[in-house]
Structure 1
Amino acid sequence: MVPNVVQKGEVIAIDGEWWNSDPIKVEAEAKLSGGAPNVSDAFTINGQPGGSYNCSKSGTTNFSVEQGKNYLLRIVNAAVNNHLFFKVASHNLTVVAVDASYTKPYTTDILVLSSGQTADVLLTANQAEAKYYMTASVYTTQGFYDKTNTTAILNYVGSNSSATPIGLNIPEFNDTATLVKPCEAWLRRSIQWTYGHSSSLLLQHIRCLYHRLSFTSPVEFNYTGDVPNTLWAPICGTKVKVIEYNATVQVVFQGTNIFQSDNHPMHIHGYDFYIVGEGFGNYNESDHNPFNLVYPPLRNTVGVPVNGWVAIRFKADSPEFSCSIQKFYKFVKFDDVATTLDVSKGVLAERVPVGRDIGG
């Protein structure tokens, strides 16, 4: 973990969601209407919405700590379809692992986790003996979202049991500047930010670095500009890109301004990958010059920023199956977008992408 840091204990904080109705029915209704599912009625930490709700105020999740001790917090974003800010009042967090992979430690006062992402952070109980709120709140660029915040309490041993917890400032729901702030800690050596307008659906520009393949590039247009309606409708079909075994592959996820801007969590089934670059606006070849190739963070999921792009690299060393790059925009099945990469080792055959079936 971090050298010479003695941990007093471990705390698990699972950020989730709560619907007042049956979530299965929520999904079914969305499929029938063809629209987005109803947003949740509350976010939760370890199953409790927290002190903002009379129904759960007495059951708010409490984490007891001793002054001067170090604690390992394992934080999970188990929300279905939301990026979440996570903060602890008056405390800094030292990130040591993300998505179960160790990372070069960095200290921040706020985390941003995509759907399904995890983070291991060190917290030092170095404040006065009191109660402190920890909170999770949504980040989104959409107008239709769960506007609630969930809270838990960091409770110092010896604090006044009847005292009101110390509060904290919560970012605005669309605070993109705060969203990219933690990223700069591990990408500041490599990123030149270029600001565009807005971005939404994803295009995958795939390039094999060491084994050149004849790939078909996506249609080129001003992705983050004013996209004409003629480019809104996708082509229905499936295409497979064949990659040689052990090839080193670079993928640039480029956001577009089709329909509505958004921040997109992306992952590759069967692989972790290195994030080597990130920026706003339209990606171009000159952006690779400041790529971080020394200490690139290893991730399982990455959020493609609104108005921007992310460049990743991985080694295609899992033969005999395909891997699927998938966008989790909604939990409704027909809203998924996927591209299949077929990792070949001599003989091509029909293979099923790793992960769940996204067919109709």
Structure 2
Amino acid sequence: MRQLNTSDQDGVPGVTQCPIAPGESLTYSFRATQYGSSWYHSHFSLQYAEGLFGPLILNGPATADYDEDLGLLFLSDWSHTPAFALWDSARKGVAPTLDGGLINGTNTYNCTDADTGCSGLVGAKYETVFESGKKYRFRIVNAAAEGHFQFSIDGHSLTVIANDLVPIVPYTTDNVIISMGQRYDIIVEANATAGDYWLRAGWIKECSTNLHPDDMTGIVRYQRNSTATPTTESTVTTSGTCGDEPYESLVPHLALDVGDITTTAEEELSFTLDTYFKWMLNDSSLLINWTAPVLVDVVEKQDVFPTDYNIVAVDKQSNDSSTSEWVLLVIEDTTGLSVWHPIHLHGHDFWVVAQAKGVFDPSNPGFTTTNPPRRDVASIPANGYLAIAFKLDNPGVWLAHCHIAWHASEGFSLEFVESESTIAARTTSSVKTTLEDTCTTWNSWNQLYSQDDSGI
């Protein structure tokens, strides 16, 4: 979410607040300045991998017509072992292989060969019903801990009308590639022969492992009372890529160009494996302190931070408030590993000015600055680079991180402190009180819980 001038409502422990202690509650209140499809999730360590997330729909116009809104469609991976129990393996550099996947929290599972205490085929497939001639809107979210999807519906075309919270010029395809944290709004016309069709999450096997990658399916029916198992087959060509939808397809409906870039942050991605595996940006792996959020320190006008907070301070260079200034962030993968990384920036939509394999050449960057793709999650190609630009117009502390859950816990993140000198004056006494109270209740409980990852 944009969280314009409400960094304190962003909900990131150790960054914008202390964690919410067990038994306590916190109400988030902010002005919605965007419309479209999004989601909320816990940012406390690996909690969202356990299913602690939900839908956010901000109603507004669409760039193509439809008849019925089917709401959010969550695609997620799933483990029968709690994510926190898998963490010991993950932090030693061995990514866990999860048991399966869910569509809107449901799927079937064959217990015959599983030591799970169940027997036979259990659970249920996600189902939805089409009426011939109607057009349906799906709001698809990749909520996986570590899973890329190539979404499709057998026998149907998909018209894509938005990426993340940005309306785009509609384009038609037979599949949509969705990386972790990304959202796509699509319209599907019920123009196939009446019957039962597989809806496929489409786990991309080249990107990560899963015990049942081909079983992440749902059902589209044209008859509400049908119980038949679909016999349709997919005609989609398997992508094999772990990145995003084609760059040239993602044309924002509202054309906006990149302005004057006055601040550049270049980050090299590397890793270290000693006792534990850690991702590093410019040789530093993120380690936040749940008991001392950066935003609280900034409000209290402390301006010296530990190196492993990975702080990048950005501010306007001109005192003229009428000028528009921009930040450029370049992250280059120097690891030599065949891993793509979905990067999410809080507090801003960003303009994707470059996204390519190979070595970044700052003397000849080849940036696209005229209405490039605009969104809030985009991928760094394996052994390549991602360059994004955003406007300096939202003072606060904003996390930028890999949206693979294990990687975020392994320190793949940095924190932008934007327009630091203005934050304290913008923070009301009631906000300060809420920040203090949340930390007080957390700190009284925190002694019982030892932080063993980056914190996010």
TM-score range, shorter chain: 0.7 to 0.9
Rounded to whole Å, the distance in 1 between the matches of 2:157 and 2:187 is: 9
Relative to structure 1, is the Cα distance of residues 160 and 248 closer, same or farther in structure 2, using a 3 angstrom cutoff? same
1:148 partnered with 2:224:
no
Rounded to whole Å, the distance in 2 between the matches of 1:290 and 1:134 is: 37
Give CA deviations for 1:247-276 in whole Å, capped at 9, x if unaligned.
Answer: 311222322343x22010101122221223
- Conserved 8 A contact 2:142-2:182: yes
- Conserved 8 A contact 1:12-1:75: yes
Corresponding residue of 2:232: 166
1:184 partnered with 2:248:
yes
Corresponding residue of 1:24: 84
- Over 6 Å off, 4+ runs: 51-54
- Conserved 8 A contact 1:273-1:312: yes
- Corresponding letter in the other structure for 1:15: L
Q: Note the 1:188-337 alignment, pairs <5 A.
A: 210=260, 212-213=262-263, 234-235=283-284, 237-238=307-308, 239-245=310-316, 247-258=325-336, 260-285=337-362, 288-289=365-366, 291=368, 293-294=370-371, 296-319=372-395, 321-331=396-406, 334-337=409-412
Q: What is the TM-score of this pair, normalised by structure 1?
A: 0.74
Say which SS state the counterpart of residue 140 (structure 2) adopts: strand
Unaligned runs of at least 5 residues, structure 1: 188-207, 222-230
Relative to structure 1, is the Cα distance of residues 163 and 77 closer, same or farther in structure 2, using a 3 angstrom cutoff? closer
- Conserved 8 A contact 2:380-2:386: yes
Instruction: Tell me the number of residue pairs that the alignment of Structure 1 and Structure 2 aligns.
Output: 319
Give CA deviations for 1:70-125 in whole Å, capped at 9, x if unaligned.
Answer: 00011111111222111111211111122232122221111111212221111001
Say which SS state the counterpart of residue 139 (structure 1) adopts: coil
Corresponding residue of 2:103: 45
- Larger RCO (CA within 8 A; separation ≥ 6): 2
1:358 partnered with 2:454:
yes
2:418 to 300, 319, 343: 343
Rounded to whole Å, the distance in 1 between the matches of 2:282 and 2:367 is: 34
1:63 to 123, 128, 143: 128
Say which SS state the counterpart of residue 138 (structure 1) adopts: coil
Corresponding residue of 2:45: none
Deviation at 1:336, TM superposition (A): 2.3
Give CA deviations for 1:172-221 in whole Å, capped at 9, x if unaligned.
Answer: 5x712x8555433237xxxxxxxxxxxxxxxxxxxx974645x6856799
Relative to structure 1, is the Cα distance of residues 300 and 281 closer, same or farther in structure 2, using a 3 angstrom cutoff? same
Rounded to whole Å, the distance in 2 between the matches of 1:301 and 1:181 is: 12
Q: What is the TM-score of this pair, normalised by structure 2?
A: 0.60
Rounded to whole Å, the distance in 2 between the matches of 1:91 and 1:277 is: 32
Say which SS state the counterpart of residue 30 (structure 1) adopts: helix
Rounded to whole Å, the distance in 2 between the matches of 1:91 and 1:126 is: 8
- Corresponding letter in the other structure for 2:194: E
Say which SS state the counterpart of residue 24 (structure 1) adopts: helix
Deviation at 1:330, TM superposition (A): 3.8
Rounded to whole Å, the distance in 1 between the matches of 2:96 and 2:422 is: 46
Say which SS state the counterpart of residue 232 (structure 2) adopts: coil
Deviation at 1:130, TM superposition (A): 1.1
Say which SS state the counterpart of residue 400 (structure 2) adopts: strand
Rounded to whole Å, the distance in 2 between the matches of 1:108 and 1:67 is: 20
Deviation at 1:311, TM superposition (A): 2.2
Among all aligned residue pairs of Structure 1 and Structure 2, give the percentage whose two residues are the same amino acid: 23
Say which SS state the counterpart of residue 26 (structure 1) adopts: helix
Say which SS state the counterpart of residue 331 (structure 1) adopts: helix
Deviation at 1:240, TM superposition (A): 3.2
Deviation at 1:34, TM superposition (A): 2.3
- Conserved 8 A contact 2:330-2:387: yes
Rounded to whole Å, the distance in 2 between the matches of 1:122 and 1:262 is: 31
Relative to structure 1, is the Cα distance of residues 79 and 164 closer, same or farther in structure 2, using a 3 angstrom cutoff? same
Moved more, 135-144 or 7-16: 135-144
